[in-house]
Amino acid sequence: MTGPDDQADTGLRPIGDVIDSLGVTATVRDGELVAGAIVLLKVIDEDGDTRLSLTHSDGLGWIERAGMIRIAERIESSHETEGDDD
């Protein structure tokens, strides 16, 4: 069994408050069910070094995770090119 003290030792903690403090929002309409999540965090450590941390909700298989990441990449790429005037 893992308790709060174990989480402090490993650095593991729920990230809901962290995400909320960053002002992250999503469009989820009435009647829709969020069935999974992948979260990519940019973390700056005490020395000022930057790292990425990736986590996902329980129940997502590797194929779903890979697909979600690929779709997110395509969505992000399309947003980058929308503002180009070239």
Whether 18 maps to a domain, the answer reads no
Whether 57 maps to a domain, the answer reads yes
Whether 56 maps to a domain, the answer reads yes
The answer to whether 51 touches 11, Cβ cutoff 8 Å, is no
Whether 3 maps to a domain, the answer reads no
Mean pLDDT score, 59-64: 96
Whether 20 maps to a domain, the answer reads no
The domain in which residue 44 lies consists of 35-86
pTM of this prediction exceeds 0.75: no
Residue-level pLDDT at 70:
97
| Tally of domains in the chain | 1
Whether 10 maps to a domain, the answer reads no
Whether 53 maps to a domain, the answer reads yes
Measured at the alpha carbon of residue 19, what is the angle toward residues 18 and 24, in degrees to the nearest 5? 150
Mean pLDDT score, 25-34: 96
Which residues contact residue 43 at a Cβ distance below 8 angstroms, ignoring those fewer than 6 apart?
A: 50, 51, 52, 53
Q: Tell me, what amino acid is at 61? A: G
Report d(CA 13, CA 4) in Å as an integer. Answer: 9
Mean pLDDT score, 57-74: 96
